[in-house]
Amino acid sequence: MKLLVLTFILLTAVFIHSINSQQYVVGCYFTNWAQHRHGLGKFLPSHIDPSLCTHLYYAFANVDLANRSPSPFEVNDVKPSPSTAPVIVNDVAKPAVNGRLNGQLKPPIKQPPPMSMYEQFNALKNKNPQMKTLLSLGGASVNSTQFRNAFEPEKTRREFIRNTIKYLRTYKFDGLDLDWEFPETEADRRIFSTLVHDYRLEFQNEAFLTDRPRLLLTAAVAAYRPKIEAGYDVRDVCQYLDYINLMAYDYHGSWNTHIGFNSPLYPRSSEKGDKRLLNQQATVDTWIESGCPGSKLVLGLGTYGRTFELKQKKNADTKPYGASKGAGQAGNFTASKGFLSYYEICDLIKKQKWHTEYDKEQQVPYAYKEGQWVSYDNQESIEKKCHYVASKRLAGAMIWSLDFDDFNGAFCAQGKYPLLTRVKRTLDSLQGPTTPIRIHKTTQATTANCGYSYNYSFFLLSINYIFPIFIYHFI
Ligand SMILES: *[C@@H]1O[C@H](CO)[C@@H](O)[C@H](O)[C@H]1NC(C)=O
Ligand SMILES: *[C@@H]1O[C@H](CO)[C@@H](O)[C@H](O)[C@H]1NC(C)=O
């Protein structure tokens, strides 16, 4: 009898352990301006595949100082507009002739009720109820002055935070992602710590008072060591944030006088001094050494490339640190000099026969032709980086951004979302059922005053250990 009970207990323990084994985070950034690209570049919430993401970020909301609240950048963020109705692919594929489709009378198109982009975005949770949606506040077009004005004076800050909660709840987001690019002075560092702390506290209070799941709090942060040291009290902010999204790209770009990789995993053996900090490994090490738990770090991956024009067209040095004249040509869809989406790069490689190489030392590909040079990521480099995420026991990976991947599958001949799919598959495959129970992590969350985690870990503890011992002794 005792043997039977023991077996039962062991089985229960194994079962509970596997329930507790955590899924890797796959964060996906949606950008509300990619709707303005033409043709196959146009990106709407209906293009998102919710089965590929655990966390979905809406970039960006503005900092509205007058109203002390987040506010929309795009009119259709909050107002339904016909131009953002989900794309009806079949209708596009088969153009109607004189109102007739293949000789038959064209059936009336059933228009879904018009929805704003926020509504469409958050409705994706119906297809993946586990997925969390967060609103990203700020981004490159909101300057530090705006963040300082909104969050330095205590009264303004408190009001802004209260209005943020209203805003997130009204539009059905599950959390907030702070995208201040970047806190850089000592005063900024204090403001950032305070605002992270206050947001977390208010989110907890609101959850307690309204009996709702607590709103999540994340931040997208700098990757370069001197910027990290200047901008963040790492230990403090990591304690109060749920996840820290490392913007582990843009290490080199057309602002340099030489060519270089956008997002290398490792340094080059030839690099010295601060140049050795320009890679993802250095970023992750800096955050961990500064006191951030690796289990909260999410490694950012770029689904785009940075482009350059080589100084010499003939016999150019095409290896990193070769001479550059500036930004490479704009893409046909993204239409900005200096960078290209992954699908545009695929197009150049396939149609224009760009020459490709893979740098084993830094684990990234690059491509070039006739004086144009691009550093980017492909399925191989993305997979390597996901293995790195697992080896460092990080929380997971995120991509910037959904609209730069080959989301239609029209350019790379690798199916839809080749890069994001590789992230998801690789991280899922590294999710062994034997993942050890992370009691340590959940108890750590207790110090951040998180009632939910505390109860949950106590529940697990009791089911796993106390309850079985109890049964065992009484049978
Ligand atoms: C910051 O942005 C605001 C609003 O766009 C603008 O009015 C202001 O001039 C900017 N300040 C700086 C220092 O760039
Ligand atoms: C843009 O399209 C044209 C014509 O289709 C092509 O020749 C050119 O290489 C493309 N440029 C880029 C950067 O994709």
The string of pLDDT tens digits covering residues 364-393 is 999 999 999 999 999 999 999 999 999 999
pLDDT at 81: 78
Angle between helices 439-447 and 451-461 (to 10 degrees): 150
The Cα 468–Cα 448 span in angstroms is: 29
pLDDT at 398: 99
Q: For the domain 2-98+111-303+379-474, what is the CATH code?
A: 3.20.20.80
pLDDT at 453: 39
Counting ligand 2 atoms within 8 A of each CB, the residue from 332, 348, 354 with the most, and so the one to mutate, is 332
Please give the distance, rounded to the nearest whole angstrom, from the Cα atom of residue 220 to the centre of ligand 1.
Answer: 21
* Beta-bridge mates of residue 100: 97, 105
Tokens 């809406």 locate to 58
Please give the distance, rounded to the nearest whole angstrom, from the Cα atom of residue 145 to the centre of ligand 1.
Answer: 7
Lowest mean per-residue pLDDT among 303-307, 355-359, 462-466: 462-466
Kindly state if the Cβ of 341 falls inside 6 Å of ligand 2.
no
pLDDT at 207: 98
Rounded average pLDDT over 324-349: 98
Tokens of 411: 């350019």
Q: Is the peptide bond before 401 cis (omega within 30 degrees of 0)?
A: yes
Q: Is the peptide bond before 458 cis (omega within 30 degrees of 0)?
A: no
Q: In a 3-state reduction of DSSP, which class is residue 169?
A: helix
Residue whose CA is at the smallest distance from ligand 1 atom 13: 145
Which own/partner pairs from 432-439 qualify as long-range (CB within 8 Å, at least 24 positions apart)?
432/21, 433/18, 433/21, 434/17, 434/21, 435/17, 435/18, 435/20, 435/21, 435/22, 436/17, 437/16, 437/17, 437/20, 437/21, 437/464, 438/20, 438/22, 438/295
Q: Nearest to residue 261, comparing CAs of 125, 375, 421?
A: 375
Using 50, 70 and 90 to split pLDDT, how confident is the model at 113?
A: confident
Share of the chain above pLDDT 90, in %: 78
Indicate the length of the chain as a whole number. 475
Kindly state if the Cβ of 429 falls inside 6 Å of ligand 1.
no
Domain ranges of the chain: 2-98+111-303+379-474
Whether the Cβ atoms of residue 280 and residue 263 lie closer than 8 Å to each other: yes
| pLDDT at residue 401 greater than cutoff 70 | yes
Catalytic residues: 181
Tokens of 368: 């070039």
Give the DSSP H or E segment for 139. none
pLDDT at 15: 43
Q: Phi and psi (nearest 5°) for 86? A: -50, 135
Q: Phi and psi (nearest 5°) for 105? A: -65, 130
Kindly state if the Cβ of 22 falls inside 6 Å of ligand 2.
no
The Cα 172–Cα 166 span in angstroms is: 10
* Alpha-carbon Rg for the chain in angstroms: 24
| pLDDT at residue 1 greater than cutoff 80 | no
Whether the Cβ atoms of residue 298 and residue 243 lie closer than 8 Å to each other: yes
Q: In a 3-state reduction of DSSP, which class is residue 58?
A: strand
Q: Nearest to residue 338, comparing CAs of 227, 224, 250, 248?
A: 250
Higher-pLDDT residue of 266 and 435 is 266
Please give the distance, rounded to the nearest whole angstrom, from the Cα atom of residue 142 to the centre of ligand 1.
Answer: 8
The string of pLDDT tens digits covering residues 63-108 is 999 999 999 999 999 999 765 555 444 433 333 333 334 444 555 5
Rounded average pLDDT over 59-65: 98
State the closest ligand 2 atom to the C-alpha of 333, by its place in the atom list counted from 1.
14
Residue whose CA is at the smallest distance from ligand 2 atom 13: 331
Nearest ligand to residue 329 Cα? 2
The string of pLDDT tens digits covering residues 132-183 is 999 999 999 999 999 999 999 999 999 999 999 999 999 999 999 999 999 9
Alpha-helical (H) ranges within 34-94 are: 75-78, 89-93
Q: Letter for the amino acid at 177?
A: D
Please give the distance, rounded to the nearest whole angstrom, from the Cα atom of residue 181 to the centre of ligand 1.
Answer: 14
Kindly state if the Cβ of 332 falls inside 6 Å of ligand 2.
yes
Q: Phi and psi (nearest 5°) for 384? A: -60, -40
pLDDT at 420: 99
The string of pLDDT tens digits covering residues 416-474 is 999 999 999 999 999 855 444 444 433 333 333 333 333 344 444 444 444 444 444 44
Q: Phi and psi (nearest 5°) for 120? A: -60, -40
Residues near 103 by beta carbon (within 8 Å), at least 6 away in sequence: none
Nearest ligand to residue 348 Cα? 2
Its pTM stands at 0.84
State the closest ligand 2 atom to the C-alpha of 347, by its place in the atom list counted from 1.
14
Rounded (to 5) percent helix, strand, coil in the chain: 45, 20, 40
pLDDT at 236: 98
The Cα 136–Cα 288 span in angstroms is: 24
pLDDT at 307: 98
pLDDT at 109: 61
Q: Phi and psi (nearest 5°) for 157? A: -60, -50
pLDDT at 404: 99
Higher-pLDDT residue of 81 and 475 is 81
Please give the distance, rounded to the nearest whole angstrom, from the Cα atom of residue 88 to the centre of ligand 2.
Answer: 27
The string of pLDDT tens digits covering residues 193-225 is 999 999 999 999 999 999 999 999 999 999 999
CA 274, distance to chain mean position in Å, is 26
The Cα 129–Cα 141 span in angstroms is: 32
pLDDT at 83: 57
Kindly state if the Cβ of 149 falls inside 6 Å of ligand 2.
no
Tokens 């004005």 locate to 149
Kindly state if the Cβ of 149 falls inside 6 Å of ligand 1.
no
Share of the chain above pLDDT 70, in %: 80
Whether the Cβ atoms of residue 196 and residue 204 lie closer than 8 Å to each other: no
Rounded average pLDDT over 285-310: 98
Tokens of 396: 């997971």
Rounded average pLDDT over 224-238: 98
List b or e across 124-151, with b for residues whose CB sees 16 or more CB atoms inside 10 angstroms: bbeebeebbbbbbbbbeebebebbbebb
Kindly state if the Cβ of 344 falls inside 6 Å of ligand 2.
yes
Please give the distance, rounded to the nearest whole angstrom, from the Cα atom of residue 144 to the centre of ligand 1.
Answer: 8
pLDDT at 112: 64
The Cα 459–Cα 446 span in angstroms is: 14
Higher-pLDDT residue of 452 and 37 is 37
pLDDT at 426: 98
CA 456, distance to chain mean position in Å, is 27
Give helix then strand counts, H and E, for the chain: 16, 17
Nearest ligand to residue 338 Cα? 2
Residue whose CA is at the smallest distance from ligand 2 atom 7: 352
Alpha-helical (H) ranges within 249-375 are: 280-289, 342-351
The Cα 273–Cα 275 span in angstroms is: 5
Please give the distance, rounded to the nearest whole angstrom, from the Cα atom of residue 372 to the centre of ligand 2.
Answer: 13
